[in-house]
Amino acid sequence: MTTELPTTLMEAAAWLRAGRISSGELTELALRRTSDLQPALGAFVTVTADAARAAAARADADLDDGVDRGPLHGIPIAVKDVFATSDAPTFANSRAFVEPWPPGYDAPAVARLRTAGAVLIGKATAGEFGCGEPEPGRGFPLPRNPWNPEHTPAGSSSGSAIAVAAGMALGALGTDTGGSVRAPAAVTGLTGLCTTRGRIPTDGVVPLSWSMDALGVIGRSAADCAAMLQILSDHEPHRRMQAPILDGDLVDIRIGLVEEYFLDDPGLQAEVLAGIRAAIGVFGDLGAQFQEIRIEGAHQAKEANTVIVLAEGFTQHRANLALRWSDYGAAARSFLARGAFLSAADYAQAQQFRREFRMRLDRLFRNIDAVLLPCLPTDAGRIDQTDLEARFRGRNSTRQWNLAGVPAVSVPCGFGAQGLPIAFQLIGPSGSDERLLQLAMAYQTRTDWHLRRPPMLTSTGPS
């Protein structure tokens, strides 16, 4: 048995088929890593070790019988603790859940992973109901950044990112309403895709904002994300493994660059701007063309996202907040209660703006294939210096795309002022998820930021 966990999901898939490792061995390595690092990193609410071992045994038996279910066959995957799963309860990281969803039912997205032969390692830590912050003493693990446990892994799909960054899983499922997949991926050196809204069903997922929630995947590489997307999006798990890499010919690709609001953000760390400039250079070397563009109403789009998420989140929780205020964490209840301050007109205007903003982007994407932007303005801050109100008031580069329902992928591009990972973001028109991942793959053929591993992994045994 090898003691080395493959670096990427795609590498693991190749190893499995080459007989270099079995799913059982992969799963044991992932579970051992989880057991070693869970106390320090708080990646999982529930680890489903027995079910994982059983799934791995089935995956190995199938491969022995010549049954290949595609790229996730036998691969350890983590699932955010907002997805219903048949083998573990769903808490949404809250003590205010009237009753945690009991095991017994798989959300469609989870069912697709299982049908494709994935091995689910456990339920990954999340921000409470997708909007809260970790708090000690509430009975849930405190998620920490594997690159430096004193720093935040961002949220709300925190555990999903931690699990992949720390080698507890080779891919993860998350949800993204304003950046909840892209931000954790960005600060942990991973690739994170927020899919076109509605492309993957959100049934069986604890909602935050029914009109804004989208599913997402986190992997080390864009190719890993593409493998998960392939399984999640079309329910044809028996399709042949595909890794359509654009490896050096982007001559027909036009990328938009937006100075106003995004690249001229005074809060942008110099290292982030340098990482983006370097990425522009890489895409240029690959043949891409660039065009300066304006995105009118970018700041209002962020605000409209806030208004809609607060209104819908509050509507979802109103009765429960009235009954169980103190059972919610301080950050979640403060966030959700803000929805009570908004009028029907505020909500209607935000939805009206949303329609116009979406049409604006539709027009924009007639002339360009993607937009390249920062993901977060800085690398991960210290956990003890988290400032929620600054986030509420300040600029933002992720929420606009949830408002429009278009796909967005965060791609690692270096390290920030504190030595922690940073990322850029690619945005594309509705349904262009695969195209964005292809662009990210092309970038990753020329860079290795996505393959870097947290220093702590080198001191915890097999890596």
Partner 1 sequence: MTDGSTLALARSLLRRAGLRIPEPELQSLAEVLPELWRQADDVGAHLTGQHPDGPAAPGPGAVK
List, by residue number, the catalytic residues. Answer: 80, 156, 180
* Spatial distance between the Cα atoms of 360 and 196, rounded to a whole number of angstroms: 17
The helix or strand, by DSSP H or E, that contains position 414, with its residue range, turns out to be strand 408-415
Choosing from 52, 194, 307, 404, the residue that interacts with partner 1 (CB under 8 A) is 307
Pick 300 or 463: Cβ nearer partner 1: 300
Choosing from 36, 135, 327, 346, the residue that interacts with partner 1 (CB under 8 A) is 346
Q: Is 354 helix (H, G, I), strand (E, B) or coil?
A: helix
Q: Which range in 214-222, 258-266, 306-314, 454-462 contacts partner 1 by CB under 8 A?
A: 306-314
Pick 233 or 334: Cβ nearer partner 1: 334
95 binds partner 1 (CB under 8 A): no
350 binds partner 1 (CB under 8 A): yes
* Spatial distance between the Cα atoms of 258 and 374, rounded to a whole number of angstroms: 10
For residue 239, the minimal CB distance to partner 1 (Å) is: 42
Runs of H (alpha helix) within 137-269: 158-165, 182-187, 222-234
340 binds partner 1 (CB under 8 A): yes
343 binds partner 1 (CB under 8 A): yes
Total residues at interface with partner 1 (CB under 8 A): 34
260 binds partner 1 (CB under 8 A): no
Q: Is 62 helix (H, G, I), strand (E, B) or coil?
A: helix
For residue 255, the minimal CB distance to partner 1 (Å) is: 26
For residue 324, the minimal CB distance to partner 1 (Å) is: 11
For residue 344, the minimal CB distance to partner 1 (Å) is: 9
Residues 6+ apart with CB under 8 A from 389: none
Site string for partner 1, 353-372 (x = CB under 8 A): x--x----------------
Site string for partner 1, 275-294 (x = CB under 8 A): --------------------
Q: Is 45 helix (H, G, I), strand (E, B) or coil?
A: strand
341 binds partner 1 (CB under 8 A): yes
Q: Which range in 42-50, 202-210, 240-248, 342-350 contacts partner 1 by CB under 8 A?
A: 342-350
Enumerate the β-bridge partners of residue 423: 412
For the chain, count helices (H), then strands (E): 14, 11
Site string for partner 1, 380-419 (x = CB under 8 A): ---------x--xx--------------------------
Runs of H (alpha helix) within 146-188: 158-165, 182-187
Residues 6+ apart with CB under 8 A from 220: 7, 8, 9, 164, 170, 190, 191, 450, 451
For residue 399, the minimal CB distance to partner 1 (Å) is: 12
Tell me the residue type at 244: P
348 binds partner 1 (CB under 8 A): yes
Q: DSSP code of 266?
A: T
Choosing from 249, 352, 387, 419, the residue that interacts with partner 1 (CB under 8 A) is 352
Q: Which range in 3-11, 93-101, 214-222, 330-338 contacts partner 1 by CB under 8 A?
A: 330-338
- Is-contact 173 184, C-beta < 8 A? no
* Spatial distance between the Cα atoms of 148 and 12, rounded to a whole number of angstroms: 26
Q: Is 273 helix (H, G, I), strand (E, B) or coil?
A: helix
279 to 259, 418, 440: CA distances (angstroms)? 15, 20, 10
- Is-contact 52 119, C-beta < 8 A? yes
For residue 425, the minimal CB distance to partner 1 (Å) is: 22
318 binds partner 1 (CB under 8 A): yes
Q: Is the peptide bond before 156 cis (omega within 30 degrees of 0)?
A: yes
268 to 260, 411, 425: CA distances (angstroms)? 13, 17, 14
The residues that touch partner 1, with contacts defined as CB under 8 A, are 297, 299-300, 303-304, 306-307, 310, 314, 318-319, 321-322, 325, 330, 333-334, 337-338, 340-343, 345-346, 348-350, 352-353, 356, 389, 392-393
